[in-house]
Amino acid sequence: MGESPDLISDLPQSILENILTHLSIRDAIRTSLLSTKWRYKWSTLTDLAFDEKCVSPSTDRALVETNLVRFITGVLLLHQGPIHKFHLSTSFLQCRPDIDQWLLFLSRNGIKELVLELGEGEFRVPSCLFQCLKLTRLELCHCEFDPPKSFNGFSSLKSLTLHQILVSPEAIESLISGCPLLEFLSLSYFDSLVLSISAPNLMYLYLDGEFKDIFLENTPKLVAISVSMYMHEDVADFEQSSDYNLVKFLGGVPLLEKLVGYIYFTKYLSVGDDPGRLPITYIHLKTIELYQVSFEDANEASPIQLFPLEEESFDLFERDYFEYKLPRLETVRMTDVSGIRNELEFIRFLMGTSPVLETVIVTSSLSDKDARMEMVVELLRFPRVSPRAQLLFLQD
């Protein structure tokens, strides 16, 4: 006949679905125009991702919103079969009843991964979400989250991300403790959060916001912590608590490999009475990164003496141990170093207790060349236990 054979339509369904998942949802739907065989091939895709690029751009926000809603509703109606991943990420949608309907639809279709990043507004998560018990990943942004009393948590949830969510702390606590398989937790943009985290399988913790009090009650498997804490200016609030924050926070994480702290991290940790001995050592700690951490508060009255200044005993974490070691520490990174004593002592401590240390990256915030030179000279003086240690000095 001279007609070339169809190259692609007869490939196995799994390959075609693989191809379609690599296309944007719009391109995938347009394949339904190709031929009779392709007409509904896209409709069994299990992963759907929507954003405002799905519809034509326009300066009229309301129009984009309407079109996007119509598009998503249309796709869901034409879809066949289970939907495992649903990502919606757009600032154009804020609070619409349509979203409730989509969530209801998803809850009936076996949703496993749900990502909802909406625009600033007060979208209240509907109750049907709490019936999606197969959820393994939940990410919510700019929503109001209010679980019903009968809600016991998501038994399969492994990853939870909440960003700027309006929710009561008890609700978060019970949610976290109701998700026994939780491995990744990210809480950001909260106000004055007081939280006690109990998650036996938790491995990655990411905190960002104004936290008043975080107690890692039961997180034995924690591998990486990244904390970006903002504190009220009035430290008086904190002085009242008698528990040493350092213990509360870093006391129960023996497997910790990576510690990342921002801004008020050390200040927060130093609040409270120092009880003396810490129960654990950090034998797995590989990386320490401190960004813009201010060691400035050398005021005697406020308990910021996190890193003691005694020359001989580098007992940062264990007062009575003289042979303290961080056996796996490989990378240390500190920014905004201004050469004050506490900072330099800390670096000296690290360099003196890490036999496999490879890189120490120091970024300075000093503008004065002489001061910077002094600091560099100081740093170079410090004895190094590790033969491969490199001190890299970068400028802001």
Partner 1 sequence: MSEADMAIIKPEMMMKSYIWLETTDGSIQQVEQEIAMYCPMICHEVLQKGLGAGSSKNCAISLPQRVNPAMLSLILDYCRFHQVPGRSNKERKVHDEKFIRMDTKRLCELASAADSLQLKPLVDLSSRALARIIEGKTPEEIREIFHLPDDLTEEEKLEPLKNLMDDPRIRLLNRLYAKKRKELKEREKLKGKEVEERVDERSVDDLLSFINGKDHKVVKTSKSKKKNKKRKEHKNKVSHNLHSKQQGVQIVDETAASLGGVSNLPSMEEDIFSLKTDSEDGYVDDGMDPVLKEMLDREVEDFARRLNSSWVLSSGQERQPVHFSINGNGATRRLTAFQVMLGSLILLMVFGWQVPEFCGVTVKGNSRVRISGLTGTEGGDEWFDLSYIILDEASDPPKYDNVPADREDLVRDVLSSTLLFPFELQLCISELELL
Burial grade of 396 (CB within 10 A; 0-12, 13-18, 19 or more): exposed
User: Is residue 8 a contact residue for partner 1 (CB under 8 A)?
Assistant: yes
Task: Compare residues 38 and 321 and give the one whose CB is closer to partner 1.
Answer: 38
| CB hemisphere CA count around 232 (13 angstroms) | 12
Q: Coil, helix or strand for 378?
A: helix
Least distance (Å) between residue 310 CB and partner 1? 45
Of 28-47, binders to partner 1 (CB under 8 A) are 29-39
CA distance linking residue 350 with residue 356, whole number of Å: 11
CA distance linking residue 19 with residue 306, whole number of Å: 54
User: Is residue 95 a contact residue for partner 1 (CB under 8 A)?
Assistant: no
User: Is residue 75 a contact residue for partner 1 (CB under 8 A)?
Assistant: yes
Stretch binding partner 1 (CB under 8 A), from 67-75, 93-101, 314-322, 366-374: 67-75
Task: Compare residues 90 and 245 and give the one whose CB is closer to partner 1.
Answer: 90
User: Is residue 1 a contact residue for partner 1 (CB under 8 A)?
Assistant: no
CA distance linking residue 266 with residue 295, whole number of Å: 7
Site for partner 1 (CB under 8 A): how many residues? 45
Phi and psi at residue 314, in whole multiples of 5°?
A: -85, 60
The angle subtended at Cα 30 by Cα 91 and Cα 57, nearest 5°, is: 30
User: Is residue 377 a contact residue for partner 1 (CB under 8 A)?
Assistant: no
User: Is residue 3 a contact residue for partner 1 (CB under 8 A)?
Assistant: yes
Residues 6 or more apart whose Cβ sits within 8 Å of residue 393? 362, 363, 364, 376, 379
Task: Compare residues 74 and 81 and give the one whose CB is closer to partner 1.
Answer: 74
Taking CB under 8 A as the criterion, the residue among 1, 2, 62, 323 binding partner 1 is: 62
User: Is residue 80 a contact residue for partner 1 (CB under 8 A)?
Assistant: no
Whether the CB-CB separation of 106 and 131 falls below 8 Å is answered with: no
Question: How many distinct helices (H) and strands (E) make up the chain?
Answer: 10, 15
CA distance linking residue 328 with residue 326, whole number of Å: 6
Taking CB under 8 A as the criterion, the residue among 6, 122, 273, 374 binding partner 1 is: 6
Least distance (Å) between residue 5 CB and partner 1? 6
Taking CB under 8 A as the criterion, the residue among 44, 47, 49, 70 binding partner 1 is: 70
Taking CB under 8 A as the criterion, the residue among 44, 66, 152, 192 binding partner 1 is: 66
The token pair that represents 46 in the structure block: 């299990």
CA distance linking residue 113 with residue 158, whole number of Å: 10
Task: Compare residues 7 and 236 and give the one whose CB is closer to partner 1.
Answer: 7
User: Is residue 150 a contact residue for partner 1 (CB under 8 A)?
Assistant: no
Q: What is the contact surface with partner 1 in residues (CB under 8 A)?
A: 3-9, 11-12, 14-15, 18-20, 22-24, 27, 29-39, 55-60, 62-63, 66-67, 70-71, 74-75, 77-78
